[in-house]
Amino acid sequence: MYAVARHLLAGTLAALSAVSGAEAQIRGRQPALDWQTFLVPEFGTTVEYPASIFPVPDGKAEKGLGQRFNSADGRSVLTIYTRENAAGDTPASYLRNNLRTGRSVLDYERVTRSFFAISSERRGLIFYSRCNFSAEAGGAIHCFDLVYPQDEKRAWDPVVTRISRSLRPLDG
């Protein structure tokens, strides 16, 4: 009985210690997040991101111009990119023309005249995307996509909010 209890305790401790470094930083158990500004100079896109969670770029964005970042533990991915809006899409028409899944799978959707934000939860992950549209017709679309563990949602909420609020084209 003692051996079984010891084995269960060891398994519990191992599971607790497996909490990702990103979650530990987000929850304040490690030094404060190192917020830095990422810039896509060709389109003037700026966005703040937690460089301590995403310390090293991991290649170019698959869409448009930008950068992909992985967390050190590989459980989270941030992609920041900008693309031309040659079709003159609005946020609503862009989603209608480009969303790869049905809207019924979205857990969150907000669409305004100047941006959209969507998210869905599947396979234990949250997929969040936001794109801001430049005011001028045919202007650029400034975006980020973030994938992170669903079981860390509460810890990630303030991070997602800060990244979302900071996404914009350069002023002037």
Range in 24-38, 46-60, 118-132 the model is least confident about: 24-38
Q: Exposure string (b/e) for 104-118, b if CB count within 10 Å is 16 or more?
A: eeeeeeeeeeebbbb
Q: What is the pLDDT of residue 15?
A: 31
The pLDDT value given to residue 23: 54
The model's pLDDT over 132-167, given as tens digits with 9 standing for 90+, comes to 998 765 589 999 999 999 999 999 999 999 999 999
Residues facing 45 on adjacent strands: 40, 169
Query: Residue 145 pairs with which residues in a beta bridge?
Result: 79, 129
Q: What is the pLDDT of residue 26?
A: 55
Residue 11: pLDDT band (50, 70, 90) is very low
Tell me the helix, strand and coil percentages in the chain, rounded to 5: 30, 35, 35
pLDDT of residue 76: 97
Name which of 81, 124, 121 is nearest 101 in CA terms: 121
pLDDT in tens, 76-132: 999 999 999 988 999 999 999 988 777 788 999 999 999 999 999 999 999 999 999
Q: What is the mean pLDDT of residues 26-50?
A: 82
Q: By three-state DSSP, how is residue 115 classified?
A: strand
* Alpha-carbon span 36 to 13, nearest angstrom: 34
- Examine the pLDDT at 3 and tell me if it is beyond 50: no
**Between residues 157 and 31, which one has the greater pLDDT?**
157
Domains of the chain: 19-169 (3.40.1000.10)
Helix (H) or strand (E) holding 79: strand 77-84
- Is residue 64 scored above 70 in pLDDT? yes
Phi, psi at residue 118, to the nearest 5°? -135, 155
Structural tokens at position 17 = 């210690």
